[in-house]
Structure 1
Amino acid sequence: MMDEQTSEPGRHTRSPFRAIRAIDYTVIFVRDMAAMRRFYEDVLVFPLLRELSPNWIEYGVGSNTLALARPSRTAADAPTPTGSASLQMAFKVSAAEVDQCADELARQGVAPLSPPANQSFGHRTLFFRDPDGNLLEVYAEI
C-alpha cells in the first residue's frame, strides 16, 4: 500500500519524526532508588547533573543524560518481574578500557555476566547487570 506522503510503499519520507537526530536522554524506571543511585554514582562513577527530586536523578553520560526515576505516568503498569531486564544499554570505550572496566567491577564486587571477550562481529564486550537487573554492556570496536 502506498503512503500518501511517500513515493515508495511503507516509506514515510515526510514524517516529522525524521527530524530526530539523537537520543537526548534515557530514563530508567527504578525499583530500588537507593541501590540504583549507589551503583550509577559509586560503581560506574557517572557525574551527577542534577537531582530534581528524590524520584528523579540525572547523570551525564557523554553528551547524553541518563535519568533514574520512580514511575509516575506508568505507575499503574505491572512492574517488571524481579530478575528480569527492562532494558539493555551499551557504553562505548576503547578496547583496553573494556578490561579495565571488568577489573573495576570486580573490585566493586559486581559479578560480570560474561568476562571481556572478542566477538565475531568485531566488538570486545563485557556484560553485567545493575541492581534492578538491567543488562549493561561495555564494548569497544576491534
Structure 2
Amino acid sequence: MRPPLDGLLETAVYVDDMDAAHAFYQDILGLKRMVKGTRLFAYDAGPAQALLVFHRGHTGEDVETPGGTVPGHDTEGHGHFAFRIAADQIGAWRRYLQDRQVEIISEVAWPAGGTSLYFRDPDGNVLELAAPPLWPNFT
C-alpha cells in the first residue's frame, strides 16, 4: 500500500540576480526570508510552505551537509508557480501590483469560476495569483 502524501512543502524558482529577486519577493510580495545563502534564499510562503529561490547555474553540483548529500539540480528558462489567494482579493491584488508597476501579463477567468492574475518576477519567471474555484481540490 502506498503511504500518503501530506502536500507540497517547497517549490523552487531559479534566478540570475539574487538581489533583484530578494527585493521583489520581500518588498513586492511581502515574503519573509528564512534562509540567506550564496546559492539559495528560502522564503516563508505560508503555513508549512517554502519558496526556494536558487541562483541559476550555481546549484548543479551535489552539496555535502553534516546530515547527508543534497543532490544537485538546476533549470533553464522561465519557471512558473502560483500563490493561492482568497476570491475576494483579486481586485486588491490587481490594484496593488499596478500601483507598484508590476505588469499583469494575463488575467484568466477559469471555467470552474476562479480567476488568475499572471505577472513576472525580475528574472522573467511567471508567477500566478490564483483564486478559487480553480481545481476540483481548490474551492
TM-score with structure 1 setting the length: 0.72
Percent identical: 26
| CA-CA distance at 1:135 after TM superposition | 1.1
Runs of 4+ aligned structure 1 residues displaced above 6 Å come to: 75-79
Give the corresponding residue for 1:57. 41
Change (3 A) 1:101 1:50: same
Taking the TM superposition and a 5 Å limit, the aligned residue runs for 1:1-142 are 14=2, 18-51=3-36, 53-63=37-47, 64-70=49-55, 71-74=57-60, 80=76, 84-85=77-78, 87-115=79-107, 117-142=108-133
Distance 1:40 1:102 in 2: 17
Letter in 2 for 1:102: R
Unpaired segments of 5 or more residues in structure 1?
1-12
Identify if the C-alpha distance between structure 1 residues 90 and 29 changes in structure 2 by more than 3 Å, giving closer, same or farther. same
Alignment RMSD: 2.4
CA contact (8 A) 2:59 2:74 kept: no
Q: 1:111, CA displacement in angstroms?
A: 0.6
SS of residue paired to 2:96 = helix
- Alignment-mate amino acid for residue 89 of structure 2: E
SS of the equivalent of 2:104 reads: coil
Change (3 A) 1:19 1:103: same
Q: CA deviation at 1:38?
A: 0.7
Q: Give the count of matched residue pairs.
A: 121
Greater shift, 117-126 or 28-37, is seen at 117-126
Which letter maps to 2:5?
A: I
- Counterpart AA for 1:121: A
Query: Do the aligned residues in 1 keep the contact of 2:39 with 2:58 (CA within 8 Å)?
Result: no
The 1:77–1:65 alpha-carbon spacing in structure 2 relative to 1, beyond 3 Å, is: closer
Paired AA for residue 100 in structure 2 = Q
